[in-house]
Amino acid sequence: MLNKTKLILFHFTVLYNFIFGNPSEGVWKQFLYTNGISSNYTFDVHKDKQGRVWVGTQNGITLIDGSITRKYGVSHGLPSADIIKITDINGRLFAATSGQGVYVLENDTFEKVNFVKGSNVTTMENIGDKIFISTNLENIMYDGNSTSFMGKGFPNSKIIDTFSNEKNDWFVSDRNLIKLEENKYVSEKITFPSSNAKIQALIIDDDIEYFGTNQGLWSRQNNRNAKLIKNINVLSLDRTSNGLIIVGAKKGFYYLSNGALKEITPVGQDYLSLSKTAVRDIEVTSENEIWYATFGMGLFLHDPGTFTNINTKNGLDVGGMTFDLERDGDKVYIATKNGLFIYKKNRIEKHFTKKDGLPSNMILDLDLDSKGNLWIATANGLSKLSGSFFKNYSRTDGLPSKLVTSVHVDKRDDSRIWIGSERSGLTRFDEKGFYTFAVQDGLPSNSIRDITQLNNGTLIIACYKAGVAKFDGKRFTLYDNGLDDKRVILLENGFDGEVWAGTESAGIGVLEGNQFRMIRDSDGLAHNEMFSLYNDGKKMWAGTFGGGVSCFHENTWFTLRESDGLNSNTVGSIVSIDENTTMIGGTSGISIFKMNNQTFSLEIINILTPSEELSFEKQMEPISGILKDRFTLTPNPMVYNPSDAEIKYRYRTKKFSDPKFSDWSKLSLSPQISYVPQDVGSFQLQIQAVDNRVAFSEIITVPFNIGRVWYLDPKTAIPFWGSILLLIGFSTVTYINYRKKSIEAEKLREAEIERQQAEMEEAREFQQAMLPSEMPITDDYEMVGFQKTATEVGGDFFDFMQKEDGRWVAICGDATGHGLTSGNVVSITKTAMSSLVEEDPVPTLDSLNKTLLNMNIGLNRMCLNIASIGKDSIRFSSAGMPPAYYYSAEKRELEEILVGALPLGSFKRAIHTEKEIAFKNSGDILIMMSDGLPEAENSKNEMVGYERTLDLIKTLSDKSAEEIKDGLVEMCDNWLGDTAKLQDDMTFVIIKKR
């Protein structure tokens, strides 16, 4: 293996000649109308400073903005004209049309500019920090704000093309070359053999002027006559940074190689008709990004620089596999199944086979010693190449086996060579000869597949089917802890003393201390079947058996495959050429991979927060959010990879106050980055896109201010929760007080109810006490009184009072209203009555009326019947009471006796009258009653009514007074049934003549 110190020194001396390119090769991609561009007929392609690609077509403009393709046409303000040139200045885009002047893109709409005269634009190019525009009327410079004329003797000619470098600016009209000399523009007519030749493109390279004309590509040097390179109609010219001149012609496109034009024929796809298609513009933006605008076949993107493949066409027939690559200065030794090759100065310089002295054409491993000797492990012994002479070693010399799998020059003593062989152990070769260590010496396995060495001299041995062994010169130590596959076939020193071990089918085991850490395809490795490992000092390369090659760089695995331009997905060898160039050997040759060190642009299309959608700005204010919010960022990488390999993304964060960012996240294919902050504070989120050509985008930084939910943020939570606690405390105290008072109030209320009930009970008892406790018993009459109250204290009452002459007065009353008030009215009436018992009914009513009026009892009044019972008659009077019923036993008739008058207590001048009823025959009956019975309502709201009462009394007329009362009560009960209740007091007074 190559000494690392030498390798680093070589990085500075390596020539770009290692890379010889055929511009036909590489990876191509075609953009057609069906892929989203405006037209297949394109005129110009321009990449602006933001990394966006603009394509002028005969049907408007196409913007290829990273992953987004967008068309601009008439609806965006463009005229119906060919867009022949596009350029930008100060972030503003200008489009030149074939006959409609120049347009500028403002607010997503094109507007015609007025700073240039003339509609027919012949060219529009960036020169320095200005735009040069040539029209049919004038040639001007525009700096983004104002225009200036060329002056200094600039001819009034239509300029076709321009070229600028750090030395000068050149302009060409169809016949003349114009350049600034001694502060004055000098126009020189270029003479071509044919007078019809017109200049259509210009490029200058190393003082050689190349004129593309309608009659050939011409070159001129030192003002001599132009020399024809090839007679083709040249439409466009451009140059790569490597100095490769690319020519766009009316039919196809070419590159200039050693003074001759060679046609570019894209490989891998059927682009035959491209040789007949006009190439109107070439835009070289980098070594791996060249755009071609064609007139009929759309737009082409070509990556010629990422991979350069060397194979049998270049003299490298590896016979099916490249097993090892070893660099020595400006040459690389290539170990193959078909002998040993030497690659130097951009070509295969030498091919050694058995015919040249090699013991076998199957070369499995190489290593160089400090004297420049190349040690070669072959399938038929060991060999040493010194100059062009092979010294071979075989079993007869002491080698344990002819199949030598690995060879390693000891780092501390490069006269000592270590040899691994299949099934025959580890062999040391030095001045003493060959000495072999085998299993019986402690070697874990006799099948040795690779050997490397630590800086301290410890030998590291890949022991097939056993693991990794270390040999300190005295004893072997086996390491296999954590190693998922003990079939170790590859070894490489890591970056920090660790050892990387490639296995047959479990990826890579990294030996750190005594333990292996496995790296598999799930970690980003191309494949788990390993075939080669190589540390270039900064990056670890891992070739696989069928999965391409992976590169571990900046903590990220990249993978390159045939689809990216690699010659083979089976990679048997890798070596670094310089810091950015790596040679990769496979089944069909070698690929030279050129890493593009330039970062590409990355935009953030939008940022979705839980509440809004934000636009990204380079210097944006921190986005405010709260813990566990989800922020979704949509990046748009400005990278154009014709292989269509998907761009991946990674992100990392750091607290503003922390010195370092976290590790990058694993690569994600999703073009949306979700960020869920797990902590509070000021954060920076960094996002980077990764192109699998081992290229990174610029890093976009998005600032965040993350707080807690307001009720958890100490600033707001303490006052809030404090207030809540105070409120809860206050509420609790208030509630306790309220409950206390409520309980007290409840007790008071209950006590008051009890008191009222007691009072009511007392009043009822008092009222009941006012009723006769016993019915009068006389020889002449049966007298029965009955009362059923609807409330505790009813408004009805009855009484029997005996006059001094022994005669009886019966009264039946009903105070309006209910309850205590009516009870009081009854009491007053009864009290007053006691003094009026000797009076006749009418004077009694008059007197009671006055008494009640004087009592000012408001709306309460007293209805009253008075029956003064004489010997043979009853004098009856009423004030507001229902009719009385008189039954004449003699006539056997029941009569309703109605003496209408206002209730007592109504008006002072109330008039009362009386009726005298004959009451002399046995069986005569007088019944007085309150309205309780006639107005008793059943559940159907039907009253008993006066007629029904009358009819019942008729049926009861032959009954005793007591039986009549019972009959009336029974009827009332029947009428009410079980559901209705008596709504008013019911009172009867029944007098029956014996």
Closer of 172 and 881 to another protein (Cβ)? 881
Residue 732, helix vs strand vs coil? helix
Closer of 574 and 944 to another protein (Cβ)? 944
CB of 795 to another protein, least distance (A): 8
CB of 831 to another protein, least distance (A): 21
Closer of 397 and 951 to another protein (Cβ)? 951
- What is the C-alpha separation between 824 and 793, in angstroms, rounded? 9
Closer of 454 and 943 to another protein (Cβ)? 943
Nearest to 123, CA basis, from 216, 25, 200, 18: 200
Closer of 243 and 900 to another protein (Cβ)? 900
At residue 749's C-alpha, the angle toward residues 743 and 754, to 5°, is 125
Closer of 673 and 867 to another protein (Cβ)? 867
Assigned token pair, 592:
């030279």
Nearest to 956, CA basis, from 919, 908, 990: 990
Closer of 459 and 944 to another protein (Cβ)? 944
Closer of 47 and 861 to another protein (Cβ)? 861
Other Cβ atoms within 10 Å of 772 Cβ, number = 13
CB of 716 to another protein, least distance (A): 53
CB of 899 to another protein, least distance (A): 8
- What is the C-alpha separation between 572 and 988, in angstroms, rounded? 128
Assigned token pair, 270:
């059927």
Contact indicator for 319, 334 with CB cutoff of 8 Å: no
Q: For residue 731, which phi and psi values (nearest 5 degrees)?
A: -65, -40
CB of 816 to another protein, least distance (A): 4
- What is the C-alpha separation between 561 and 569, in angstroms, rounded? 6
- What is the C-alpha separation between 566 and 551, in angstroms, rounded? 13
Closer of 567 and 860 to another protein (Cβ)? 860
Closer of 288 and 878 to another protein (Cβ)? 878
DSSP β-ladder status, 623-626 and 700-707: parallel
Other Cβ atoms within 10 Å of 768 Cβ, number = 14
- What is the C-alpha separation between 804 and 295, in angstroms, rounded? 146
Closer of 649 and 885 to another protein (Cβ)? 885
Contact indicator for 543, 551 with CB cutoff of 8 Å: no
Closer of 317 and 814 to another protein (Cβ)? 814
Q: Which spans of this chain sit near another protein (rule: CB under 8 A)?
A: 790-791, 795, 814, 816-818, 859-861, 863, 878-883, 898, 900-903, 906-907, 910-911, 931, 935, 941, 943, 945-946, 983-984
- What is the C-alpha separation between 317 and 322, in angstroms, rounded? 10
Cβ partners under 8 Å of residue 898, min gap 6 = 878, 883
CB of 875 to another protein, least distance (A): 19
Residue 582, helix vs strand vs coil? strand
CB of 933 to another protein, least distance (A): 13
CB of 861 to another protein, least distance (A): 5
DSSP string, 497-544: S-EEEEESSS-EEEEETTEEEEE-GGGT-S-SSEEEEEE-SS-EEEEE
Cβ partners under 8 Å of residue 806, min gap 6 = none
CB of 898 to another protein, least distance (A): 5
Contact indicator for 135, 143 with CB cutoff of 8 Å: no
CB of 769 to another protein, least distance (A): 24
- What is the C-alpha separation between 814 and 863, in angstroms, rounded? 5
CB of 905 to another protein, least distance (A): 9
CB of 859 to another protein, least distance (A): 5
CB of 850 to another protein, least distance (A): 16
Q: For residue 700, which phi and psi values (nearest 5 degrees)?
A: -95, 130
DSSP string, 713-729: SHHHHHHHHHHHHHHHH
Sign for the CA dihedral angle at 813, 817, 823, 828 comes to negative
Closer of 432 and 981 to another protein (Cβ)? 981
CB of 913 to another protein, least distance (A): 10
Element at 202 (helix H, strand E):
strand 199-205
Closer of 783 and 944 to another protein (Cβ)? 944
At residue 347's C-alpha, the angle toward residues 345 and 353, to 5°, is 120
